[in-house]
Structure 1
Amino acid sequence: MFPETISDKLADIVVKQSTSLSAEERLALLLQYVTKAQAVWLAKGANGFVMIENGDDIILPVWPHADLVMTWDVAAQSDVTPEQVALSEFLNTWLPGLQANQTGICVFPLSQEDAGIFMTAEELKQSLEEEAK
């Protein structure tokens, strides 16, 4: 289903199949593809990176590919563009900063009803480092 090699553009059928995966399968996809591509994708709006507010919690959504950012209903309905962050920068700068600010991570959300897996920045860092071994 998902390409074995790094691809700038995903086929429509691959995007459709990716959005039909469970939250756990989307997490596995993110871990596998991000370590291969050496990059994660975030949603960027006019005022910076898009965060989700859930009560008192602030959460950063992340995706394995630019084409999948736009599958999120929030991104599709607003002026958002996918923004690539190198995996090394994400691991060494973003995740420690998010952890220090107690900002959570939401992996590959699709909608409010299917928001993906929520993790701490430390949990995602450990999972990515384990996947890279």
Structure 2
Amino acid sequence: MSYTLTDADKAAVQTMRDDERFNHFISRVCEHDEIWILTDEHGCMMLTSDDDEDCIPVWPHAEYAKEWAVDDWSQCKPEAISLKVWQSRWVPGMEDDELMVAVFPTPDATGVVVEPRDVQEAIDRKKKPGRHN
């Protein structure tokens, strides 16, 4: 159920700070009920943050994920994860494996690196009944 990403959307994201991209990510993910990762035949792509933490990068749209699929990652393809699957399997699995989430990195910025539970709590707050997106 992917939405169309416009050039204006892409341009706006380029000027956002990491925290603004985090909030944009949460809004889009809640609106479309999916999170995007990059995968190849070995599984999902992982990064090491500046603080030496193992992270799974996530994006709100396939197009943003594709921007990372270059050089060493050129074999990777965007893959959508439903919010239901993210909450039930990914969050507990990442916590068990002590993995962090790199939220909406761009080719020149790591993004906000947080615990999986922090991403889920932000989604839960945004989706709270009676709250408008």
Both structures adopt the same fold (TM-score exceeding 0.5): yes
Aligned pairs for 1:1-133 within 5 A: 7-54=2-49, 57-72=53-68, 75-77=69-71, 78-111=74-107, 113-133=108-128
* Matched length: 125
Q: Which residue of the partner structure matches residue 131 of structure 2?
A: none
SS in 2 for 1:8: coil
- Scaled by the length of structure 2, the TM-score of the pair is 0.85
- Scaled by the length of structure 1, the TM-score of the pair is 0.85
- 1:62-105 CA-to-partner distances (Å, cap 9, x unmatched) read 00111111233xx2332221100001100111011101111000
Superposed CA RMSD: 1.7
Unaligned 5+ runs, structure 1: 1-5
Aligned partners of 1:26 and 1:108 also within 8 Å: yes
The CA distance in 1 between the partners of 2:124 and 2:39, in whole Å, is 25
Unaligned 5+ runs, structure 2: 129-133
Instruction: Give, as a single letter, the amino acid of the residue that structure 1 aligns with 2:27.
Output: Q
Q: Return closer, same or farther for 1:15/1:56 CA change in 2, 3 Å cut-off.
A: closer
